[in-house]
Structure 1
Amino acid sequence: MTETAAYAGDSSEVRDTETAKKYFDQGWQAEMSGDRMAAISSYEAAYTADPQDANVCFRLAYNLDLLGEEDEALHLYEEAVRQERPSLQALINLAVLYEDRSHFARAERCIRQVLNTEPNHPRARLFIKDIMASKGMLIDDEQEKRLEKHNAMLDTPVTDFELSVRTRNALRKMSIRTLGDLLRVTEPELRSFKNFGDASLEEIKTMLAQKGLKLGQAVEQHQESVKEQVYEQLREQGGNDEMLSKSVNELNLSVRARKALALLNVQTIGDLAMKTEAELMGVKNFGMTSLVEIKEKLTENGLGLRSLDA
Structure 2
Amino acid sequence: MTATIQNYDFLGTLRDSSPLSRDHLNQMLSAAVGSGSADFRKAIEQVTEEAQNNPALRVRAGIGQFLLGSPKESEKILTGTDEGIGRYFLAQALLSQGRYEDAANEFEQAAKLGYHPVESILRRAGALRRMGKMEDAEELIRSTGAEGARLAEYSYQMGCILADRGDTFGAIEYFERAVDMDHHHQRALFALAVQNSRHGDDEEAIQLYERCLSRPPYLRSALLNLGLLYEDKENYAAAQYCFERVLKYDPGNERAVLYLKDIEATSNMYYDEESLKEQQKLEQLLSRPVTDFELSVRSRNCLATMGIDTLGQLTEISEQELLSGKNFGETSLLEVRELMAQHNLSIGQYLHEKQREPAFDQRDLSPEEQAAVQTPIGDLNLSVRSRKCMTRLGITTIGELLMRTPDELLSAKNFGVTSLNEIRNKLSEMNLKLRND
Answer whether TM exceeds 0.5 for this pair: no
Larger Rg: 1
Using structure 1 for the length normalisation, give the TM-score. 0.40
Query: Which TM-score applies when normalising by structure 2?
Result: 0.29
